[in-house]
Amino acid sequence: MSSTSFLTRPSPTITRVETILVDVPLKQRTITDSQSSVASVEFVQVKVETDAGVIGWGFNWNYTKGLKAVQVMIDEAYAPAIVGRPALDRHALMQAMNATTHFIGRVGVARVGLCAVNLALWDIQLKLEQQPLWRHLGPCKDRVRAYNTDGGWLSWSIDELVADMQRIIDRGFDSVKMKLGRPDPREDFERVRAVRRAIGDRVNLMVDVNTVWDLKTAVTWGRRLEEFDISWLEEPMHPFDVAAHAELARELDVPIAVGETIYTLHDFRDYIDRRAVDIVQADVTKLSGIEEWLDVAALARAHGLTVIPHTNVQQNVHVQLAAATPNAPLVECCYESIHDIWEDPVRVEGGWYTLPEAPGVGGKLTDTVLAEYRIG
């Protein structure tokens, strides 16, 4: 379909919005960070139908429980706000849905639900255009470098940690990340030292605290970790405490990374204005959708900052966004044991993500997964 014919056709009308809640078990041992122990991942799948027969698929996810609340939000607030309206009027539809949450919350559950619908609306437009997302946006690269987190879990012994990191490097990854946040930071320090010794100086090593340190701990142990040439220190403290992160950034030479639990463009603006972040880890599934992710990426670029998206279990969306974003050099690779739950998943080959060719966003779970693991 040519761009001209797409632009001159009337927008299809949304006729129905359906949600499906699933809980997918990991095909590996339980994984653990400083906040959570994960044996399965919940997904809410959104299906937006139109009178033209084009269906848009969106999703969101959570590795703890609670997406039932998001499902109710979509079914009872967002769906009534958009059914009967033009599917391509995405900005107007987002405003209409956002208005329904004005007095009950603008982040968390509300934001997670907004993104799921936003992805479905994008999926409709891209299918009408017969393009994948990265082609619609205009690529600046034809593949995207991946870094790997799957070998760095907090519950792994040091021997297991070292063995998994080496296995990942042998697959072609040149950047790996490990979890911190044990009750005694001395244990974290010893684990980082063991990994750095094992992998050598040429592999990039990142560390992720998952928000459990206070400022004193972050300053003390962040300084000590600098001797291991850490590429970034991720989520060291509470994500809403911009002031503490700004002070930490002044105290340390290691770059500070935040973003996976930051929900709005305005919050990222505050971090950037305070010089409290070096690596912007915007996650489309925590923001309101693709438009807001692009806004955050543009804001970061204007301030000379790098964007490296947080993983969202389904890497397809972030890989496509990174392919069209000059200041997004890497995308996280994680939860590899369940990559095949998606239709047309992106693949990592020699440490690089390939780009999808199928039209759309690429956010549909397989029919088998939707049937086998449905819980609501």
**What confidence tens digit (pLDDT) does each residue in 260-291 have?**
999 999 999 999 999 999 999 999 999 999 99
pLDDT digits (tens, 9 = 90+) for 27-42: 988 888 898 888 999 9
Are 225 and 254 spatial neighbours (Cβ–Cβ below 8 Å)? Answer: yes
pLDDT digits (tens, 9 = 90+) for 50-93: 999 999 999 999 988 899 999 999 999 999 999 999 999 999 99
Are 296 and 266 spatial neighbours (Cβ–Cβ below 8 Å)? Answer: no
Which residues does residue 160 pair with via DSSP β-bridges, in sequence order? none
Half-sphere exposure of 256 (CA within 13 A, CB side): 29
Q: Please tell me the total number of residues recorded for the chain in this structure.
A: 376
CATH number of 135-362: 3.20.20.120
pLDDT at 192 over 50: yes
Which helix (DSSP H) or strand (DSSP E) does residue 269 occupy? helix 265-273
The two three-digit tokens of residue 114, written as one number: 């907004």
Are 3 and 79 spatial neighbours (Cβ–Cβ below 8 Å)? Answer: no
pLDDT in the model for residue 7? 58
Q: Structural domain boundaries of the chain?
A: 3-131, 135-362
The two three-digit tokens of residue 360, written as one number: 């759309």
pLDDT at 171 over 60: yes
CA distance 207 to 215: 16
CATH number of 3-131: 3.30.390.10
Distances (CA, A) of 204 to 92, 146, 176, 251: 43, 12, 6, 22
Which residues does residue 14 pair with via DSSP β-bridges, in sequence order? 50
Integer Rg of the chain from CA: 20
0.85 exceeded by pTM:
yes
- Averaged pLDDT of the chain: 95
The two three-digit tokens of residue 101, written as one number: 């949450």
Other beta carbons within 10 angstroms of residue 36's beta carbon come to 13
CA distance 354 to 249: 34
Higher pLDDT pick, 10 / 116: 116
Chain centroid to Cα 63, Å, comes to 12
The two three-digit tokens of residue 24, written as one number: 């997918």
Are 48 and 14 spatial neighbours (Cβ–Cβ below 8 Å)? Answer: yes
pLDDT in the model for residue 2? 47
Secondary structure, 3-state, 68-80: HHHHHHHHHHHHH
Read off the amino acid at residue 49.
Answer: E
The single-letter DSSP state of residue 63 is S
323 three-state secondary structure: helix
